[in-house]
Chain A
Amino acid sequence: MFSRIKSRFGDIDTIKTLCLLAEKHALADQLRAPGAEHFLLAALDLPEDTARQAFERIGADASTLRQAIERQYSDALCSLGVDPKVAKASADEPLPSKLGAYNAAPSGKEVMLALAANRREHGPLLGAHVVAVVAGQQHGVASRALRVMGIDANALKSSAIEIAAGERRAPNLQAHS
């Protein structure tokens, strides 16, 4: 009983951290509301490191995700004959943070809703859970960025689920100490 309550409070802390980090990534990306790709970047920032492990398990380098997100924008602009440097030159500073209610983009809301819906199926919320949810999205910026990285989204999703399950069986004491 106590462990469930503790886990619930731990989840609230993780969700709060995740949302703040995702917003920071969105603002740096010139967007007001964080999308699934920003939640994925935020998951990689979590200290328990399971998100990065999910990528590593399939031989992918999670540190290239930000470049892949930018690349999928550049590729799309190039396909129209627009020089992507135009966008880069004008997007040098993050947007200022805005006071008021937290607002995620639809793809970000989808991530939050899926995490909430799956809450009973897992122990403490981990970055790997976020990776599994985002990898399950078929379309959108995050999905395109994973393709740019040459990642099979289904393999990443399976990897993330396995990492999260393994973490539940044997918590990573080093990461949590």
Chain B
Amino acid sequence: MIEANALPESNQPEDALAAVVALRRLADTLERQAVRAALDQGWSWARIAQALGVSKQAAHKRLSEVAASTSST
């Protein structure tokens, strides 16, 4: 859990923006990992999309590479 008071001060935009970039990269990595695990367990794209709160098309477009790497292993 990220404490609100741990967030970089708003008067330090460089630090705050660096934190945003790092979190986005971490979130993308965790998302791919979670989707890979779901696919391995037989989840459908519709179910994954619903869990992520996005459309099936959006999930498939953004994360289809995970499916490719899962099926190749």
Contact = CB atoms under 8 A, between A and B. Distances in A.
A113 interface: no
A86 B21 CA distance: 15
B72 to A, nearest CB: 8
A141 interface: yes
Contacts of B28: 30
B18 A72 contact: yes
Given A82-B2, A87-B25, A98 B18 contact: no
Interface in A13-40: 30-31
Contact of B19 (A30, A80, A98): A80
B14 interface: yes
Interface in B16-62: 17-19, 21-23, 25-26, 28-30, 32-33
Interface stretch (A43-51, A88-96, A154-162): A88-96
Size bin of chain B's contact surface: 20 to 34
A50 to B, nearest CB: 29
A30 B29 contact: yes
A76 B13 CA distance: 12
B69 interface: yes
Nearest to B1: A81
By CB atoms of chain A within 10 A, which of B2, B22, B23, B32 has the most? B22
Nearest to A81: B6
A76 B22 contact: yes
A80 B18 contact: no
A31 B28 CA distance: 9
Contacts of B21: 73, 76, 141
A106 to B, nearest CB: 12
A79 interface: yes
Contacts of A73: 21-22, 25
B32 to A, nearest CB: 8
A120 interface: no
A93 to B, nearest CB: 8
Interface of B: 2-3, 6-8, 14-15, 17-19, 21-23, 25-26, 28-30, 32-33, 65, 68-69
